[in-house]
Amino acid sequence: MGVFDKAERKIDSVVGKVFARAFKGDVQPVEIAAGIQRELDAEAKLLSKGKKLVPNHFTIGLSQHDYERLYPYARTLNAEILPGIREHAAEHGYVFNGPLSITYELDQSLPTGQFTIRSEAVEGRAPAGSAGGRLVIEVHGVRHPLVPPGLVVGRGADADLRLNDPGVSRRHALITVGGTEDRPVVTIEDLGSTNGVIVNGTKVTKTALREGARIELGNTRLLVHAPTEL
């Protein structure tokens, strides 16, 4: 039966397209797989005798906590999930209109342990952004995905990435993310901070960030990189 047996394919609670754990906790890969399989069953359209067309692209909405935990490992996660999806499709006579792909996006309205699924049938090659190849910024061992449009780094409550560092201004720097999934364009800009922004040992006002970039904000060190697990 592969990675996921039939018992694991059942999900505990479904309200529309919002999936929740029976017990509080993080979203697990097996639950995402089960949710996608239920999405296939719900969206299957009859093509011919014994054959049904199903979606092949899935967008998984995750809470802030689950997104930060899972997104950096998107490629490994998909490699674990997709074989079970293909097996489920084969067992039910489902056919895809193109390659299977799964993307992950942040939905700040979701609590930890819940996720949403959107699906579509995409003809031809997988849509851009299916593999999760973007850079992350790592602070104290915690990875924060760098996704468009970017984020404000600072000590204040309104900062997207908050740093508990007296040497960091309330709105210290703006990291802007553009480009494509495979070729991200990332820049950092000083927002008029007291102590400035240092990238690779040089104080900057605005500069591009590439894999391996070392950032210093106050007494905090940040690293930009693409995790090998992606």
- Over residues 32-36, the mean pLDDT reads 93
- Spatial separation of the C-alpha atoms in residues 52 and 68, rounded to whole Å: 35
- At 228 the pLDDT is 47
Its pTM stands at 0.50
In this predicted structure, what is the pLDDT of residue 59? 87
Rounded to the nearest integer, the mean pLDDT of the chain is 80
State the pLDDT at residue 99.
80
| Between 134 and 91, the higher pLDDT residue | 91
Tell me, what's the pLDDT at 227? 64
With 50 as the cut, is the pLDDT of residue 91 above it?
yes
Calpha distance 216→193 (Å, rounded): 12
Q: Is the pLDDT of residue 20 over 80?
A: no
